[in-house]
């Protein structure tokens, strides 16, 4: 894929979903109103949304902003299908294009590399949510966080109160992953 940051984040989401035991699907997450299953269904729905706008693909059959607790299919299958749809759609995007559409109403278009990073941001942050909620440890590396921060700065402000909470104050010991999470309103030391 021409957008390595997105490839990395999508694989992180797929791996994290695959490592969730069935008995942990109802566990709480840093997204305080959603369970592990709901965050995964939301993340899958977001990837379908991106795919439908940047290339090809269908929207999910459910509202990703009111994700179900369960679907007829398991979360791993739903997430895998979404990752595959996103990968196929982004493979059709010309990195040299002037802009691509986004599913972010306040930010309707972005340069392809920034849009891919915004899509990756969504996948990576929700993978982090699920990983820390299920005891997997943080999959968000400092290198990936540094690559995602420009997309966070380009998209987070108009989405605060909807997709992101208020930014949390930084701490001197923050690494790039912690700084990104705090910027997006997440406590990098969250635990249930």
- Residues 6-33: pLDDT tens digits? 999 999 999 999 999 999 999 999 998 9
Pick the CATH number of 4-183 from 1.10.287.70, 1.20.120.450, 2.60.34.10, 3.10.420.10: 1.20.120.450
pTM above 0.75, yes or no: yes
Spatial distance between the Cα atoms of 125 and 62, rounded to a whole number of angstroms: 21
pLDDT for 32: 86
Domain coordinates in residue numbering, the chain: 4-183
Summarised one tens digit per residue, pLDDT across range 129-143 is 999 999 999 999 999
Rg over alpha carbons for the chain, rounded to the nearest Å, is: 15
pLDDT for 144: 98
How is 148-178 classified by DSSP, letter by letter? HHHHHHHHHHHHBTTTB-PPPPP-TT--HHH
| Residue among 130, 173, 118 nearest 19 (CA) | 130
> Cβ contacts of residue 146 below 8 Å, gap of 6+?
176
Q: How crowded is the C-beta side of 127, counted as CA atoms within 13 Å? A: 31
């Amino acid at each position: 894929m021409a957008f390595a940051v997105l490839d990395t984040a999508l694989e992180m989401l797929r791996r994290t979903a695959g490592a969730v035991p069935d008995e942990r699907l109802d566990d709480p997450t840093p997204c305080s109103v959603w369970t592990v299953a709901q965050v995964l269904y939301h993340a899958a729905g977001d990837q379908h949304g991106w795919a439908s706008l940047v290339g090809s693909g269908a929207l999910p059959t459910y509202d990703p902003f009111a994700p179900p607790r369960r679907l007829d299919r398991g979360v791993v299958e739903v997430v895998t299908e979404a990752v595959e749809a996103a990968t196929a759609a982004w493979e059709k995007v010309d990195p040299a294009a002037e802009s691509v559409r986004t599913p972010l109403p306040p930010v309707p278009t972005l340069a392809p590399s920034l849009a891919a990073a915004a899509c990756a941001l969504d996948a990576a942050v929700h993978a982090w949510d699920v990983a820390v909620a299920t005891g997997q440890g943080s999959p968000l590396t400092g290198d990936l966080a540094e690559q995602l921060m420009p997309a966070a700065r380009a998209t987070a402000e108009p989405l605060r109160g909807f997709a992101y909470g208020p930014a949390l104050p930084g701490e001197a010991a923050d690494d790039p992953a912690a700084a990104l999470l705090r910027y997006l309103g997440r406590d990098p030391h969250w635990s249930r």
